[in-house]
Amino acid sequence: MTTSKLPPMKSNQILIITSIIILMIGGFYYTMSPYQNCIRAIDKRIEDVRNQLATETDVTKRDELELENKNLISQKKSECSDQFSW
């Protein structure tokens, strides 16, 4: 029976493997975290309001949409942070 021994890993190989694992975990957390999901949902609503603003000609409706846009921006800053703080 022969067993082949692998050569010991060099420190730079260990560093590269560790870095890749850390980046994978960070990327997974970024895509799956409740905070990022909240930010993405509000960004989508902001985009929808801005698209409506771009085509709206009624002045009162535009004022309502601009107010909604401001509210969503402040909500993005405060609500997601408050909801999902550590």
Indicate whether 75 pLDDT > 80.
yes
Could you give the count of Cα atoms lying within 13 Å of 77 in the half-sphere of its Cβ? 5
**What ranges do the domains of the chain cover?**
27-83
pTM above 0.85, yes or no: no
Of 38, 29, 68, residue with least CA distance to 52: 68
pLDDT tens across 1-30, in order? 556 676 777 888 889 999 999 999 998 888
